[in-house]
Amino acid sequence: MEQQAQIIADYFILHNYGYPVWLTLKRRGDVTLDGDFSESVIRRQYQEAMRYFPWG
């Protein structure tokens, strides 16, 4: 459940505040996504993940 909340929070930041803010939080350790975090890749990954939530 906590991991799901983290995914939603990270996506919220990316969607509402943009990639530069998301990247700043990633560097601070607040965003926990691993792997390739170029903008095009993470946007695709988050969109894919959000499909599995009730509002996706």
pTM of the model: 0.84
- pLDDT tens string 10-48: 999 999 999 999 999 999 999 988 889 899 999 999 999
Concatenated DSSP letters of 1-56? -HHHHHHHHHHHHHHHH-HHHHHHHHHHTS----S---HHHHHHHHHHHHTTSTT-
* Confidence (pLDDT) at 1: 65
Per-domain boundaries in the chain: 2-50
